[in-house]
Amino acid sequence: MEEVLDDFISSFWQNDRYKELERLAEEYGWEFTPRARFSEQATALKGFSLFKGKRGKRITGILSAPVKGIPCHVRIYDYVYYSDGGKKKTTVIELTCEQIYLSRFHIKPKKGITNIFNLGNRKKGSTGLEKFSAHYHIDAADPESTDIQIPDSALGLIANNKDVSLEGEGHLLLYYSNRKLIPAHELLSDYEKAVEIMDRLLHDREKEFV
């Protein structure tokens, strides 16, 4: 099995990607773990769409730290899925916040399909919402709850990014571009974007009703 071979190789040799992420962790005082089995991860994480599939899974180059300014913890890692077609790698920014509990949703780029999520009774004419609606759609287990939980400001932030996916459920929010690795020198920028989205989820929805 390819994942077992990778485990063996990584036990005595770390590739350049590991080294870059380890260096980033040192610079920002974050914890670093080279590699972990997906089976060892929290049960709540395993129901997310990104992690579907029965083949081998690993998370590698794991950066871990609290988030300044909001009561959350972040992990950044490369998710590796050993499919029949070869290894598929996705950099994931995972935020855990005990002060929020999200109804399950999945925001993803449109690929020639119709937006299946109704943005509810949101104000018309918002450039951010129009841009979001043009480029993204939302799958939601409970559309009414998701409409309440995700403020316009968060949708506007997402709309400013290209090919970003977000999944939320319970205390967890995942930010990633499917099957893409984020270069080490761009990780801090994407980390800040993910943190800002979580901050909007925590604080901005109430403001819209004032």
- Say how far apart CA 186 and CA 114 lie, in whole Å: 31
Tokens 């490369």 belong to residue = 78
The pLDDT of residue 59: 96
Which stretch of 63-77, 108-122, 165-179 has the lowest confidence by average pLDDT?
108-122
What integer is the mean pLDDT of 42-62?
A: 95
Whether residue 10 is predicted with pLDDT greater than 80 in this model: the reply is no
Any alpha helices (H) in 47-174, and if so which ranges?
A: 127-135, 143-149, 152-159
What's the pLDDT score for residue 162? Answer: 85
Domain count along the chain: 1
Place of tokens 């939980």: 149
Q: What pLDDT digit, counting tens, does each position of 58-82 carry? A: 999 999 999 988 999 999 999 999 9
Q: What is the dihedral of CA 102, 31, 46, 36, to 10 degrees?
A: 180
pLDDT band for position 130 (cuts 50, 70, 90): confident
SS3 129: helix
Q: How far apart are CA 194 and CA 70, in angstroms?
A: 12
- Domain range for 143 is 2-207
Residue 208: the pLDDT is 47
Q: Which residues contact 180 (CB under 8 A, 6 or more apart)?
A: 89, 90, 91, 163
Strand partners, 106: 139, 167
* Residue 113 tokens, joined: 């399909």
15 band by pLDDT with thresholds 50, 70 and 90: confident
Report residue 88: phi and psi, to 5°.
-110, 125
Distance, in Å, from the CA atom of 165 to the CA atom of 33, rounded to the nearest integer, reads 24
Q: Is the pTM of this model over 0.75?
A: yes
